Structure formats: structure tokens, C-alpha cells
Structure 1
Amino acid sequence: MNKAMTYHLAIKKLSLSLLLALTLSFAFAQVPNKPTPPRLVNDFTSTLESSQIDQLENRLVRFSDSTSNQILVVILGELNNAISATAYEIGQKWGVGDSRFNNGIVILIKPKTGNQKGEAFIATGYGLEGALPDAVCKRVVEYEMIPYFKQDDYAGGINAGLDVILPIAAGEYSHEQYTKGSGDGFFGAMLVLFLVVFFVIVMALKQVGNTTNISGKGKRGPSALDLLILGSMLSGGRGRSSGGFGSGGFGSGGGFGGGGFGGFGGGSFGGGGAGGSW
């Protein structure tokens, strides 16, 4: 009896193991294979123009060469699983990031088509989960990238996301500085509004004073100095609203400063990241 039960349990355990293996194989089958030669920007939908792909590829290769962090951009037309699971599977199967540091990032995008919603997700490797917490990834997707995606400007949205991700991943800024800078944008906008209203009131009072001038010649518009002052105030306000957060030393220019991408390093992913839809 004991032998029969032991045999039965062994068969059951083997069956479960085979089922799990088949499930994982099926899941990985839904993930596209790594291109040969490997690239950091992979558009399987022809959403991006070739010049946009080259610009993004060059930008990410420069970043990888400078920091060893690898950021992969993938655009898929169809998802057979949740976008988060697909992003993790791509990162794991392709081995994005250095195996010693697990410093890979996968930016997965499914464009909006017809009645199907668009989705985007940022998956972080183990080694970058602290630098880019889930809340920051979600904020980048929803506030930096999706506004461009809604206008069908996918290259612009990806670059806007990279403007935040690259300096944080490189240690030039902290995610706290990013969230604080984004929050300051509201107060910067309110400051600009206050200055504009104040300027309008001053000009209105000046206009009233001119119309009551005894000489009768008073009506005149704002002087060049007035306009210069207003322009200075507005430009200062706009700079404040951005929180001073930019792309650091990894700008969006298309110039290429090194060789091609050397390949992925075997990084691992454990579930960090977040996304959004539109």
C-alpha cells in the first residue's frame, strides 16, 4: 500500500512538473525571439520610422556603453498575456541587463488600434527596482509618455520617458527629485499665472493714467521694456515648472558616438515596474 501511494505521489509530482514546464514554454512562445543581430529598439509593428528607430537605438547604445545599464524598447501589435507579464518574460528570455547587476529595463508598448486600447509598461530588473520604484515607473508612463502616445507621437513619448529614466538609472538624479520636481510644476504654473495677471493689471492702470493725461496724447501700448520684462518672467516660470529635470548627459540627439550594441548580458527580472493605458 505504501509503495503504491509513493508511486502515485511520484507520478502526480512528475505530471505537475511537466505541466508547469509546458505552461512556461507556452508563455515564452508568446514572446518574440531576440533579433539577430541584437538591438535595443525593436518595433514589430512598423509604428516608428527608420530614422526614429536609429535615433533611439543610438541613444540607448550610448547609455549602455556609459553605464552598463541596458534599456530595451519593444513595440508589439498584439498581446496574448497581460502586458506586465509579457514585459517580464521578454526581459527574462532575452536576458536584458548585466547578469552581475540585473540592471535591465524593458519598455513595452502596444499602440492603440481601432477599438483596442493602447498600453505601455516599464519593467525593471532586480538591480534597478530601488532606483525606479513602481510608483515612479507608473508616473513616467502616465505623465511623460502617454500624452505623446495619445497624439500618435510614439517616438516623442519614448524619448520623453527616457528623459526621466536615463538620468535616474545613471544616478544623476534620484526618483525623489523627479517626483518633487513634477509636483513643483503646479506651483510654477500658478506663479506664471500670477505674474501675467499682475502685469495685465499694471498695464491697465498705466493705460488709464495715459488716457487722463492733460496733454491728451496719452494712449500708448506697452513699451519694449515692458514686453522684455514679461518675456523674462514667463521664461523663468516655464523653467521652474519643469523642476529642472532633464535628460542629463544622455540627450535625445541622433549623433552616434560608438559602435553598435554588443548584446544582452543575461539579466533577471523579478516583478518590478508599472504601466498604464489610454
Structure 2
Amino acid sequence: MMRRWVAVLIFLAAPLWAQTYPDYDRTTITDRADLLTDAQETALDTRLNGLRGDTGIELAVLTLPSQIPYAADQTLEQFATGLFDHWGIGNATRNDGILVLILSDDRAMRIELGAGYGRDWDRVAANVVDRSFLPAFSNDDYATGITEGVEDVIASIALPFSEGTEAPASDDLPPWMVIASVIGALLIAARRILGDLLARLRPCPSCGRRTLRRKRKTPVSPTRTSTGRAETVTRCNACSYHDVQTYTISRISSSRSSFGGGRSGGGGASGRW
């Protein structure tokens, strides 16, 4: 009788031991920790889709509060590798995918590289983590860290690898890569920053004071079968002026709706703050 009860308990507990992984919202950015604004997500999605279109490299960013609900008994590295393989990031032949995993409450992150990258790229990934992600994350400035860090991943890993360049022998990043990283990050933010600045300089149509503030939100996200809807909301802090401009977001292309079936070789780099 005792053995029978033990068997029943093991059967009931089995689902608790099963490995689970979060689903992705998009193959570019899945922000479950809510670290980015809608506008920042859209800009990052555009940037990473452009990278995939230009080079074929799939770079996915995932933010979670913690890995505990999914893999409390695993190390960060084990979780990242399993998640990478579960999603199938990267081309199935080249295995050139990249995963940037950020756990805000755990205060940990990892760049997980596809199996096509040699171990020399682990050192490059470690430099990117230390140089571009951790300084901003240490100040809880996640948006800046993600934006600048992803640009560094593109400039230091994705683009050189796609061009057949071997990992740099030196730990120092070549100057042109630093410049490319900075310029890329600035270009992502420039359009939004300039638009918001101009909005603040304009006088309010109602009261004439220069107290306009602008925000963006996405009430309806696009899918593969339907368009989305985004809004730019302008308010005046001095009066009741309120203006909403609505625009349509294109449907998600079916060619961008899933990953290519790549796998990880367990390489990459982790960091904590």
C-alpha cells in the first residue's frame, strides 16, 4: 500500500518537475519584465528585424523578472541554453542565433550564442556584457542598458560574424566597432528624442504655454493576420488640452513570425549587478 501511495505522489508531482519555458511574443523582443516603453520596443523590433533582413542573423531579446517560475533548479547558463534550443533561435544550418536574456529581479543576464560561434566569441560576449549592459543595469537604467547593449552585440558579434570575421584576438574592441555601437544606439533614439523635444518647444494650442508632453502607446498589437494600432498622445501640463493621433502598425510578416530552428552550443557570457 505504501508503495502505491508513493507512486501516486510521484505521478502528481511530475508536472512540477517538468521543464517549462516562456513563449515569445515576437522573434525580436519579448519584454515580460516591462523594462521598455512601447516606443522603445517598436524601435528595437525594427532594428532587429533589419539585422535579420540584412544578415540573416536572428537576435532575440527576452526580459523576465526571474527564472524561478521556469527553472528554479537550474543555473542561469543551463536555463539560457535550454530556452535558446526550445525557441530554435538562428538558422538551422549556420546556428548563428543570439539570445540576450535579462532577469531584472534576479539581477542577472546572459548573452547566449549559437553553436556556430567558436569559443573565442565567448570572450567578446563577456566584454559586451561588462562594457555596455552592466553599467546601466547597476543604476537600474534598463532601457539604456538594453539599447546600448544590443547595439554592441550587433557591432561586436553579429556583424563581424556575418562577414566571416574571426573573433578579435585582443580583448580591446576595435575603434570602428565602438563608433558603430555608439552611432547605432543614437540613431535608434534620435527620432523619438527629437520629436519629443520639438513637442515640448511648441506652444500649447489652447493656453499658449510651452508645457506639452508626448507619450506613445500601443492599444492593439499587430499579428500575422491583422494590423495593430498605435497612438501618440499629447497633453498640456498647464491646461486640459489633449490630442491623440492614431496610426496603423503593419501586420507581422509571416517570414518573421518564427525562428529558424537553430541551437546553442552553450557558449556566451553572463553577468550580475
Shorter-chain TM band: 0.5 to 0.7
User: Which structure has the greater CA radius of gyration?
Assistant: 1
Give the structure 1 partner of residue 143 of structure 2. Answer: 155
Question: Which has the larger share of strand?
Answer: 2
Shift of 1:157: 1.1
Deviates more, 1:51-60 or 1:260-269: 260-269
Q: Share of identical aligned residues, percent?
A: 27
Out of 118, 124, 128, which is 1:129 matched to?
A: 118
Asked if the contact 2:27/2:259 (under 8 Å) is kept, the reply is: no
The verdict on how the C-alpha distance between 1:179 and 1:77 changes in structure 2, with shifts beyond 3 A counting, is same
Question: 2:90–2:114: 8 Å Cα contact kept in structure 1?
Answer: yes
RMSD over aligned CA atoms reads 3.2
Question: Which residues of structure 1 form unaligned runs of 5+?
Answer: 1-21, 183-241
Higher helix share: 1
Q: Are residues 59 and 271 of structure 1, via their aligned partners in 2, closer, same or farther at CA, if it must alter by over 3 Å?
A: same
Which stretch shifts more, 145-154 or 164-173?
A: 164-173
1:90 is aligned to 83
Length, aligned pairs only: 189
Equivalent residue number for residue 194 of structure 1: none
CA distance in 2, matches of 1:270, 1:83: 15
Q: Quick one: which of 148, 151, 168 aligns to 1:176?
A: 168
Which stretch of the first structure deviates more once superposed, 44-53 or 156-165? Answer: 156-165
Which of 235, 241, 247 aligns to 2:180? It is 247
Partner of 1:33: 23
* 1:53, distance to aligned residue in structure 2 (A): 1.0
Change (3 A) 1:150 1:66: same
Q: How does 1:141-152 map to 2 (within 5 A)?
A: 141-152=129-140
Partner residue in 1 for 2:241: none
Residue among 66, 77, 83 paired with 2:54: 66
For residues 142 and 267 of structure 1, do their structure 2 counterparts lie closer, same or farther at Cα, with a shift above 3 Å needed? same
2:65: which partner in 1?
A: 77
TM-score, length-scaled by structure 1: 0.59
Give the distance between the partners of 1:147 and 1:155, measured in 2 at CA.
12
* TM-score (structure 2 length as normaliser): 0.60
Structure 1 equivalent of residue 7 of structure 2: none
Read off the aligned partner of 1:42 and give its amino acid letter.
T
Cα pair 2:123 2:171 within 8 Å, conserved: no
> How big is the shift at 1:62?
0.3
Distance 1:129 1:259, change over 3 A: farther
Give deviations 1:69-127, integer Å, cap 9, x for gaps: 1111001111123221121111101110011111111110011x4xxx50010000011
1:135 deviation in Å? 1.8
- Aligned residue for 1:133, secondary structure, equals helix
Is the alpha carbon distance of 1:138 and 1:249 closer, same or farther for their aligned partners in structure 2, counting shifts above 3 Å?
Answer: closer
Distance 1:95 1:103, change over 3 A: same
1:268 aligns to what?
263
